[in-house]
Amino acid sequence: MAAPNPPALDNPEVLAEKIVDALIYRIGKDQKTARPHDWLAATVLAIRDRIIDKWFASTRAAHKAGAKRVYYLSLEFLIGRLLRDAFSNMGVMEEVRSALQTLEVDLEIIREQEPDAALGNGGLGRLAACFMESLASLEIPAYGYGIRYLNGMFRQRIDDGWQVELPENWLDHGNPWEFERRESSYKVGFGGEAAADETGMIKWVPAEQVIATAFDTPVVGWRGKRVNTLRLWSAYPIDPIRLDAFNAGDHIGALVAKNRSEALIRVLYPADSSPAGQELRLRQEYFFSSASIQDIVRRHIQYFGDIKTLPDKAAIQLNDTHPAISVAELMRLLIDIHNLPFAEAWDITVKTFGYTNHTLLPEALESWSLPLFERLLPRHMQIIYAINAKILREARAKNDSDEFIRSISLIDENGERRVRMANLAFVGSHSINGVAALHTDLMKETVFHGLHQLYPNRINNKTNGITQRRWLFQSNPDLVNLAKEAIGDGFMDDFSKIAELGKFAKDKAFQEKFSAVKLKNKIRLAEHLRRTMGVKLDPHSLFDVQIKRIHEYKRQLLNLLETIALYDQIRSHPEKNWVPQVKIFAGKAASSYTRAKQIIKLTNDVARRVNFDPVVGDLLKVVFVPNYNVSQAEIIIPAADLSEQISTAGMEASGTGNMKLAMNGALTIGTLDGANVEIKDNVGDDNIFIFGKTASEVLELRQNGYNPRELIENSAELTQALNSVASGVFAHDDPNRYSDLVHDLYNSDYFMLAADFDDYCDTQRKVDNQWLDKSAWTEKAIINSANMSWFSSDRTISEYAKDIWRVI
């Protein structure tokens, strides 16, 4: 059957009719009784039909061409709201807006009814979402594979300054973007035994099985050229109810299987950069890996007939180690089901997989205790031993030292024996990449030192990127209009052309317009915060933002201590020419991360004191915005003047918020960490504020015995700030609340706040001075926006496609 012609663009009246039709016949409401979320559903359904046409056409085209497909396996996809993404990429945003206007419905109001699909923690999950959008925009046939969590990332509420976690029920009103595909269902086993049968073939007989069923969401590329699939797995029991038990009166026991399978997909693990080692997490990892690999193999056989050609037609990318068990799962299918010899199966596996590493923090490297692994996945354990034997043979031939062999082994023998997922992912992949240049260099020297010696050609860098469609075009329309006015709209399709804005950096009239856009975005944010939090902010003050997961290595505490020092100074000298500023913080702490939660509480304690101090007035405000998520980011980022990227050098793999903020014209204050280094190279040394120890200086300090106490005592400002925190100035109700926190800074300060504090404060005062020269500031902001196109995820994905996946 020929592909139908794309539906003609409707005029607003025709589209309005379609929306009303959907409202009445598919939602079952009339115009009088419809509530905003009914209008939302009806509008999505009316446009969705067009997307589906493109979707099928894309799938057919890839099939016809016998194209190689990219499979992105990720336990997280932080996609946020989909309406604006889909409508804007389909090019129907304005058309829909006017259609709804004829019905007296406000698109912005119904847009806000859409819940955020928060199926991710932070950077890694959002990166997966940006990548999916870029893959579709670059017209690369690709599938994202993940889990359809019933509750994604928790909703954060702040009670008396403390974080409280609440479940986020994003599916409560249904999800008009997804399609359940019952026909795409696979059995996934757990436990039981793996032993040779009478023919000598290994047979795994699992003790328990669940069914994984696909839910597909279309991912619309720019200008609707291609629509890819995000396939998320849900779990069903094989026997939803044991009728015999139920009829015998055991109503709970009858439903055990249903509850067990549902537990698999119930929640996203709310950890970031430090794994929570529960059995359920390993079950989730295997559940989605197994379903995805079975689906990929099934599709390959169906289309191409021969499993041996898999690496020519499929590239599977592992988003960190969370799906690393896929390596053993593919081996199992090739050996046990497709009867390939081990060596051939291994060759296919290594050619098919690529692995992306997102962290160097040793405590964040995933490993599973051997007894747990063996009990849950006995056949995979055997396969991992076999892989390990092969790899260690190769290693010994190269270097027989114990230290080298220990570093290569898939089994960690220090203390309780554990399976190292990073080593499994590494040896099972032909490409291992870091996510920023510095991070990739450090990978070679630290976590993968031994493996890099054994396989010197495998590690490569792919500096992260972000999609400018969501993070600029959709979230900052006024800046886009200004850019169009100045340089035409060529940058919408060829984003490198945004560099032409640089020509206007010194143009006073353009500067005025640029800062007027920024001011408008700040007014919008101030209004949003007034409505949601009741705070009053002066949009003319400097908006200094640190928005990201709360983690000690990201050093929100450094920012806060500088804020306290500034507060002290303003109080001592209120007559000075201070720059009025707002310190905006937002982010979630992992629920089990006590210190991170304490930092949130301290932020709120400081805010309460500073914001109501009449001496300070509007000179300094501190705001902790609750429930940071993708939608909040879309409002905060375009309104930021200053972007805080102040991690301890060597610890932030890349960062991507740094890119979003700079692209929207915020200046960065940051350490030489992660992608900050490359942002500096692109925007130029004069247009970024760099401070602090470098990664190698941090290492040296650590090796030579770091002494924070001495550093603190040599800094009058830091001493005073810590004294006020320790003595309960911000916590009258519980003066000892922060004693341990201050004690730890004096005695260990693992993240080296003391080493960077003075330099950071000096640099903040340089920022203030720069702000006072409005024209020079705006010039720098324009240069930032103009020079950030390299950080488009289109560039990142093109590099993956050429160097790793070989699909272009």
Residues that are catalytic: 358, 548-549, 554, 656, 660
For the CB of residue 688, give the shortest distance to ligand 26Q in the complex, in Å: 18
SS3 content of the chain, % helix, strand, coil (to 5): 55, 15, 30
Counting contacts by CB under 6 A, is residue 652 touching ligand 26Q?
Answer: yes
Q: Three-state SS across 117-161?
A: EEECCCHHHHHHHHHHHHHHHCCCCEEEEEECCCECCCEEEEECC
Token duo for residue 656:
């991507």
Query: What are the angstrom distances between the C-alpha of 671 and each of 364, 689, 775?
Result: 22, 8, 25
Counting contacts by CB under 6 A, is residue 152 touching ligand 26Q?
Answer: no
Q: What is d(CA 58, CA 62) in angstroms, rounded to the nearest whole number? A: 6
Strands of the sheet containing 418-420, edge to edge, are 367-369, 418-420, 411-412
Residue 345 or 630 having the CB closest to ligand 26Q: 630
First to last CA, the chain: 28
Note whether 620 and 541 are within 8 A (CB).
Answer: no
Q: What is d(CA 541, CA 547) in angstroms, rounded to the nearest whole number? A: 18
Among 44-52, 123-131, 234-242, 636-644, the segment contacting ligand 26Q (CB under 6 A): 123-131
Residue 367, beta-bridge partner list: 420
Query: What are the angstrom distances between the C-alpha of 454 and each of 89, 233, 395, 444, 457?
Result: 45, 36, 7, 11, 9
Counting contacts by CB under 6 A, is residue 271 touching ligand 26Q?
Answer: yes
Q: What is d(CA 100, CA 452) in angstroms, rounded to the nearest whole number? A: 58
Among 476, 654, 676, 763, binds ligand 26Q (CB under 6 A): 654
Among 74, 121, 475, 627, binds ligand 26Q (CB under 6 A): 121
Restricting to residues 558-587, name those near ligand 26Q by CB under 6 A.
Answer: none
Residue 272 or 412 having the CB closest to ligand 26Q: 272
Counting contacts by CB under 6 A, is residue 281 touching ligand 26Q?
Answer: yes
Q: What is d(CA 406, CA 392) in angstroms, rounded to the nearest whole number? A: 9
Counting contacts by CB under 6 A, is residue 358 touching ligand 26Q?
Answer: yes
Q: What is d(CA 565, CA 580) in angstroms, rounded to the nearest whole number? A: 15
Total number of residues that touch ligand 26Q (CB under 6 A): 24
Among 14, 109, 276, 716, binds ligand 26Q (CB under 6 A): 276
Among 17-25, 144-152, 617-625, 648-656, the segment contacting ligand 26Q (CB under 6 A): 648-656
For the CB of residue 696, give the shortest distance to ligand 26Q in the complex, in Å: 19
Token duo for residue 187:
């059995």
Say how far residue 196 (Cα) sits from the centre of its chain.
43
Among 114, 272, 605, 794, binds ligand 26Q (CB under 6 A): 272
For the CB of residue 628, give the shortest distance to ligand 26Q in the complex, in Å: 14
Say how far residue 678 (Cα) sits from the centre of its chain.
20
Counting contacts by CB under 6 A, is residue 555 touching ligand 26Q?
Answer: no
For the CB of residue 484, give the shortest distance to ligand 26Q in the complex, in Å: 30
Residue 273 or 671 having the CB closest to ligand 26Q: 273
Residue 384 or 653 having the CB closest to ligand 26Q: 653
Counting contacts by CB under 6 A, is residue 269 touching ligand 26Q?
Answer: yes
For the CB of residue 745, give the shortest distance to ligand 26Q in the complex, in Å: 23
Burial class (CB in 10 A: 0-12, 13-18, 19+), 373: buried
Q: What is d(CA 569, CA 38) in angstroms, rounded to the nearest whole number? A: 53
Among 141-149, 190-198, 654-662, 742-750, the segment contacting ligand 26Q (CB under 6 A): 654-662
For the CB of residue 274, give the shortest distance to ligand 26Q in the complex, in Å: 7
Among 88, 184, 440, 656, binds ligand 26Q (CB under 6 A): 656
Among 234-242, 451-459, 531-539, 646-654, the segment contacting ligand 26Q (CB under 6 A): 646-654
Residue 214 or 360 having the CB closest to ligand 26Q: 360
Among 38, 95, 366, 794, binds ligand 26Q (CB under 6 A): 366
Among 89, 184, 213, 273, binds ligand 26Q (CB under 6 A): 273
For the CB of residue 554, give the shortest distance to ligand 26Q in the complex, in Å: 8
Counting contacts by CB under 6 A, is residue 425 touching ligand 26Q?
Answer: no
Burial class (CB in 10 A: 0-12, 13-18, 19+), 338: middle
Note whether 311 and 806 are within 8 A (CB).
Answer: no
Among 115, 122, 626, 665, binds ligand 26Q (CB under 6 A): 122
Counting contacts by CB under 6 A, is residue 653 touching ligand 26Q?
Answer: yes
Give the x-and-dash track for 660-699 against ligand 26Q (CB under 6 A). Answer: --------------x-------------------------
Among 119-127, 206-214, 443-451, 564-572, the segment contacting ligand 26Q (CB under 6 A): 119-127
Count Cβ atoms below 10 Å from residue 405 Cβ, excluding itself.
16
Residue 19 or 365 having the CB closest to ligand 26Q: 365
Burial class (CB in 10 A: 0-12, 13-18, 19+), 477: middle
Residue 334 or 653 having the CB closest to ligand 26Q: 653
Find all residues with CB under 8 Å of 378, minimum gap 6, and list them.
Answer: 191, 192, 193, 194, 204
Note whether 77 and 7 are within 8 A (CB).
Answer: no
Residue 277 or 539 having the CB closest to ligand 26Q: 277
Give the x-and-dash track for 453-472 against ligand 26Q (CB under 6 A). Answer: -----------x--------
Residue 324 or 560 having the CB closest to ligand 26Q: 324
Residue 235, beta-bridge partner list: 212
Among 107, 324, 435, 454, binds ligand 26Q (CB under 6 A): 435
Note whether 376 and 287 are within 8 A (CB).
Answer: no
Residue 316: helix, strand or coil by DSSP? strand
Residue 267 or 610 having the CB closest to ligand 26Q: 267
For the CB of residue 520, give the shortest distance to ligand 26Q in the complex, in Å: 29
Strands of the sheet containing 353-356, edge to edge, are 179-190, 208-220, 227-237, 142-147, 69-73, 314-319, 353-356, 431-434, 459-461
Counting contacts by CB under 6 A, is residue 134 touching ligand 26Q?
Answer: no
For the CB of residue 796, give the shortest distance to ligand 26Q in the complex, in Å: 10
Specify the DSSP class assigned to residue 551.
Answer: -
Which of 3, 15, 14 lies closest to 48, judged by CA?
A: 15
**Which residues are near ligand 26Q by CB under 6 A?**
121-124, 127, 269, 271-273, 275-276, 281, 358-359, 364, 366, 435, 464, 652-656, 674
